[in-house]
Amino acid sequence: MPVSDCELTQMFEHVLQLSRVDATQSVAVLKSHYSDPRTVRAAMDAAQRLGAKVYAVELPSFNHPTAMGNDMTAYCGDTALTGNIAAQRALEAADLVVDTMMLLHSPEQEQILKTGTRILLAVEPPEVLARMLPTLADKERVMAAGKLLEQARSMHVRSKAGSDFKAFLGQYPAVTEYGFADEPGRWDHWPSGFLFSWPNEE
């Protein structure tokens, strides 16, 4: 299902509206040379159409020597933002950061969120983004499930194929993702619509 540039911009406009972007907001688009240029352009155009003040922050690519390949989801620690205080302050100054380069699992991301800046990760191809365009109903379902998971103290999964998994819960929070970043200090990921937690370690 090919997605035109116009459609991609319209999708970003929808998601940014859900993320409460308007003329009172500033939006920073975080990118690198490997970011999808169509995604970067659509994010910037959509934010401008909503009246927001828009700017881009471009960082060099970064692959830590101890990382296992180029999969940025598989390494926690140093990023292209590590030690780059000027770039970090530029991101902290925005109301919303649209991350098109995968600033994930880093201390800098947590520091940015603590200032109240929201972060929306959008790195999937446009065709994937189109298939999973978020809605307010998605948030309602995910948050309702989050309340249930927060109250749960165990999980037991069985299947006809032989799975029989049991975990005790409660030591770690339930984390929700619904595809837009609408609250101060919220990180989210478009496309998403799920929640997760970890088993107790004690």
Tokens 């065709």 belong to which residue? 127
Q: Give the model confidence (pLDDT) of 94-144 as tens digits.
A: 999 999 999 877 899 999 999 999 999 999 999 999 999 999 999 999 999
| Whole-number pLDDT of residue 173 | 94
Q: What 3-state class would DSSP assign to 73?
A: helix
Residue 14 has pLDDT above 80, yes or no: yes
CATH code reported for the domain at 5-131: 3.40.50.2300
The answer on pLDDT for 171 being more than 80 is: yes
User: What are the structural domain ranges in the chain?
Assistant: 5-131, 136-180+191-196
Peptide bond into 191 cis (omega under 30): yes
Q: How many residues does the chain have?
A: 202
- The residues that bridge with 194 in the sheet, in sequence order, are 177
Q: Which pLDDT belongs to residue 114?
A: 98
Q: 30-71 pLDDT, tens per residue? A: 999 999 999 999 999 999 999 999 999 999 987 655 555 555
